[in-house]
Structure 1
Amino acid sequence: MQFTTVGREIWRGARQAQRLAEANASDPEVQERLRKLRLVKALRESKKSWKEIQDLVGISRATYHRWQKALKEKGLAGLKPRSRRPKHLRTKVHWTPGLLIRIETLRKENPTWGRWSIWLTLRKEGFQMSERTVGRILAYLEKHRRIESVAGYLARTQRGKLKRRVNRPYAKRKPRGYEARAPGDLVQVDTLTLTLGPGSMVKHFSAIDLHSRFVLAEVHSRATAKLSEGFLSLLLARAPFPIRAIQVDGGSEFMAEFEEACCALGIALFVLPPRSPKLNGHVERMQRTFKEEFYTRAFAHPAQRAAGRAGYLPGLLQPPKASHGPGGSCSAGVFG
């Protein structure tokens, strides 16, 4: 029989491997930090500044010394990232089945109630809990699909009551990159509601050409698609150039007869997206000029401005100050 002994070097290597395993040396984060420490040490020996080292390695001077101290005191175990788990955690509160069932019942009977309404009802019934606890229970019930969220309930019950999208047979969005390169390429049209006094309200129709700044305005007592069609006829008659495209918002006065007239005349009709008045900025700014420089004037017969007849009021709308279009050309305004 032959006995063999394990050498001292083998035992030393086994203990070293055990210590490395206990220090979690195979952790990629530990190896990365050790690599950065060696790299910083090499850069410091080559007389690199700390600003250059921080840009190259990605760690600060304080971080280097903190890691170096931990490595010296604890070995590789000191390079292991510390846990960020909070020291004090909120202990889980176990809700009673009676409370869960009662909150679930109240929510199903009143699908739009929030935590405050349910908490107030429970307090009157003798339950002792906080409003936040009711909120956590509601979140638990929604997560496990035992109750429906308020948003989901409203979306489901009001789905048929929502405003349906209007079908525009001819109008479309303005193509991307479309520009007004000549007079008539794009005319912005809009309406403005003005209150002149008690029981006196007018609808101000405005149109402006983006290239020449030609402006036309008309006043009515209402804003309907039929009156908008008449304003379009006036615009075509007064404009000193052919009109090829018109841009309007989604108002009902620019549908029906107005849209049909644009289709029959071969005029492109561009409609703005919802809640985007800034895309009609030129006519919006012109309406502000009318509001500030014309409708603030005192007239001898204010009721005449609210006349219900179809047509414009001659002699009332005066052109504002002349504006200069592209190339320095002065544009002319036509108002009634």
Structure 2
Amino acid sequence: MTERELERRAKHKLAVLKHVEEVSGNVSATCRYYGITRTCYYRWLKRYEEEGFEGLKDRSSAPHNSPTATSAGVVEKILWLRQQYHFGPGKISMYLERYHQVKISPSGVWRLLYKAGVNRLPASQRYKRRETRWKRYEKQRPGHQLQVDVKFIEPLGQKGRKKRYYQYTAIDDCTRLRVLRAYPRNDQKTAIAFVDHVLSKLPFKVDQVQTDNGQEFGSVFHWHLIDKGIGHVRIKPRTPRLDGKVERSHRIDSEEFYRLLEGEVIDDARLFEVRLQEWEDYYNYDRPHGALGGQTPYERLRQKAADPLS
């Protein structure tokens, strides 16, 4: 409430007090006329006699002590995660419990975001109606299917003629375990080198690889996989939703990795590869995944190894 509004309300209360003295001469009649209780009138009168006009201004109704209120430190962490990563209440709740041993419900997080005026995400991040979303699915066994795709990137701070780089990404459909690597070229030879790197790095056998119809996943790449005893399927043209997991992971890269590199000079391809590897390790071993119920991909892999039917 603004100072002007507080002043206006205080003048109204003063007018009620003056009405008894100058007009009605009767407290009960004035209270009936203004629609207030006698208790309210005498409370205003007492404040006016003790503090003058300032005593008639509205005061905060907040309790003096709130032992169950969320601490300022936790609120600061919630707002930082929201503004830095655009996390929703559920993801923020997961992060607080995992990394700060703070248990707070998603609804409690939302109330704090609403109070701070940051409950609405940017348009590109907003929740979609159920009828406009695609049904989620996942394979039940690690390695049953990998989704592989390519994302164009441009390392920051390059001088002179800028070089083009490509982030190759492979994600396991079951565990969401990912392998990332940046290359200066985007062709079948590079795609073959990347898939060989992926197969050497993953701790389980791969049965099938799914890609889009890009030229880098042409016949040479296809037969390379067949020779290794791995199936290769391509999604229908113009249906990137069928590669939804790898496409979504690229959006996470943009929001939580590349966006936070803004202003940082990285003009060395090797340094960039180091940073990308650090991000891959964080994604696989430390970042709680919403679709996995707060588990990391590595934790989901361990769970599947212990109980394949889970």
**Shorter chain as normaliser: what TM range?**
0.3 to 0.5
**Bigger radius of gyration, 1 or 2?**
1
Alignment TM-score, normalising by the size of structure 2: 0.44
Structure with greater helix share of residues:
2
Alignment TM-score, normalising by the size of structure 1: 0.41
